[in-house]
Amino acid sequence: MDTIVALSTPPGRSAIGVVRLSGPASLQILRALVQQDLFAPEPNRVVLKSLLVDEGVLDQCLVTYFQAPHSFTGEDMVEISCHGSPVVLRQLIDLIQSHEARLAEPGEFTLRSCRNGKMNLSQAEAIRDLINAQTQAAAVQATRQLSGELAQALQPSKHELIRVIVTLESAIEFVEDDLPAVQLDDIKETIDRIIADVANLAETYRAGHLLRDGLRVAIVGRPNVGKSSLFNRLLMFERAIVTDVAGTTRDSLTESISLQGIPVSLTDTAGFREAGDKIEAIGIERTRRAMADADLLVLVIDGSCSLREEDQQILEAAREHPFVVAINKTDLPQVTAGKNLNGAQVVHVSALTDEGIPQLTAAILEPFSSLDSASVGLLITDSRHHDLLIRAKNSLAAASRSMDQGAGEEIVVADLHNALRFLGAITGETTSEQILGEIFSTFCIGK
C-alpha cells in the first residue's frame, strides 16, 4: 500500500496549514523530516518538532502520530500542523514526496477508511456532505448520517430480507417439501412490510435534497412585467440589465443567494412570448428548461394592467410545477388584484419600493418551513441513495407480484437478492470499485 500525502486545509495563506500522511511509511517519513532515526512519538499525542532541510529549519510544527489501526484511515497516519505559508507548505509536501510518498487523490483518505472498515460508505459520503453543508439543518442531517443512522435504519429491512431469502432457498433445496400456505402468507406480509419501509424512506428525498442542495427558483413571466427588477431586488445588487424595452433579457441569468440562511439558486429568465428572432427563440427555450429544472417558479404578473394571453399561457405552463404568483408594480394603480388565478398563492410586491418582498421571501422558503428544526427525522439527501432505494422497492414489488401469481421460489428469490444488493450498495457492501471511484472523486483532496 502506498503512503499518501495531501494538504488538508484550504490552499492559500492562513495562520495554520495541516499536511496529512497515511500509509506504512508515515512514521519513517516523519523521522526523516525531523532527522531523528530513533524518534518514537507517543501515539495520539501532539509534539512540537523542527522540520529540517539542508538549509536549516524549514518550520517549527506540531506533529501527531496515529498508530494503525487506531486512526481515521486504519493505517499509520501523521498530521503536521505548521504555519500556513503557501511557500512552506509547498516545500514540505515536495519534501515528503521525495521520501517515496505520493499525492493523494480526491477523497482517498476517506476511501481508505471505508475499505479498512472504519466506516461504511454512507458515513463516508456524510463527511463530504458535512463539509459542503450550507445550512444548519443540512449539517444536522450529515452528522446524523455520519453517526451511522442511515445504516441503522436499513438494518431491520435487510435482516428481514435475509431471513425470507434463507427460507425460500431452503425450500428450493428441498423441493419435495412445499412451504405451507401459512408460511407463504407470512413471507408475503414481510415483503410488503419491507416495501412500505423502503418507500417511506425514499419519500423523504425531496425534503432532504432541498436541505442539502438548496432551492432552485426560476422567475418567469411575459416580457416587461419586472422579472429582472425583482431578480435584482432579491439579490440586493444590479445583476440584470433593466430597461423599459420589452425583451431586454435575452438569456437566463443565475445567481446563488442566501434567504434567511437558506441557499437559493435564483434564475432570471427571458420573457415568455412568441419569439421575434432566432436569438430570442433560444432565450425562450432556455426559459422552458429553467422551468423544468426549478424546484419552485415565481410567476411575475404586471398588476398595473389586465391579464394578457401570454400571462394565461405561462400560468397554465406553471401548473405542472410548484409555483407562487408575484403581482408586481403595486406602486402603480392596480388592475389585476389576484382574480382569475384559480386559487394560486399570490403575493403583491413592488420591485421598485420593496413592498411585499418579505412576504415573497417567505413564500419562496415555504418548502423549508417544516425543516427548520433539528428535531426533523432522518432524511435521504443523496440522489444515489434515493435511486438505490427506488430500485430496491421495485425489485421487492416484483417479488410480491410473483408470489401473487404463484411463481416458483427461485423467481421470487432472484428479485429479493436484487433488492438486498441495492440496499447493500447504499452502505458500500455491494458497491463496485468503479462506482467507489466515481463517488470519492467528488470529495476534496486531503479528506
Residue 373 has pLDDT above 50, yes or no: no
| Cα torsion through 417, 418, 419, 420, rounded to 10 | 50
What confidence category does residue 408 fall into, taking pLDDT thresholds of 50, 70 and 90?
confident
Residue 272 has pLDDT above 70, yes or no: no
Q: In whole angstroms, what is the distance from residue 189 CA to residue 179 CA?
A: 15
Determine what percent of the chain is predicted with pLDDT higher than 90. 41
Identify the pLDDT of residue 361.
87
Tell me the three cell numbers of residue 251. 438569456
Tell me the three cell numbers of residue 58. 524549514
CB-based contact 225:308 (threshold 8 Å): no
Q: In whole angstroms, what is the distance from residue 92 CA to residue 254 CA?
A: 40
**225-256+269-304+311-362, which class in CATH?**
alpha beta
Residue 374 has pLDDT above 70, yes or no: no
Mean pLDDT of 147-164: 92
Positions of CATH 3.30.1360.120 in the chain:
3-104
Identify the pLDDT of residue 410.
85
Cα–Cα–Cα angle for 356, 362, 363, rounded to 5 degrees: 90
Mean pLDDT of 325-332: 84
- Judge: domain 123-204+380-440, CATH 3.40.50.10490: no
What confidence category does residue 42 fall into, taking pLDDT thresholds of 50, 70 and 90?
very high
Determine what percent of the chain is predicted with pLDDT higher than 70. 87
Tell me the three cell numbers of residue 257. 443567494
**What pLDDT digit, counting tens, does each position of 97-121 carry?**
999 899 999 999 999 999 999 999 9
Positions of CATH 1.20.120.430 in the chain:
123-204+380-440
**What pLDDT digit, counting tens, does each position of 170-221 carry?**
877 665 566 676 678 888 999 999 999 999 999 999 888 877 878 888 888 8
Mean pLDDT of 47-66: 91
Mean pLDDT of the chain: 84
Residue 55 has pLDDT above 90, yes or no: no
* Mean pLDDT lowest among 33-42, 45-54, 163-172, 231-240: 231-240
Mean pLDDT of 66-82: 96
Identify the pLDDT of residue 233.
84
CATH number of the structural domain 3-104: 3.30.1360.120
Mean pLDDT of 419-447: 87
DSSP of 357-378: HHHHHHHHTGGGTTSSSTT---
Q: In whole angstroms, what is the distance from residue 26 CA to residue 387 CA?
A: 39
Identify the pLDDT of residue 245.
47
Mean pLDDT of 432-440: 83
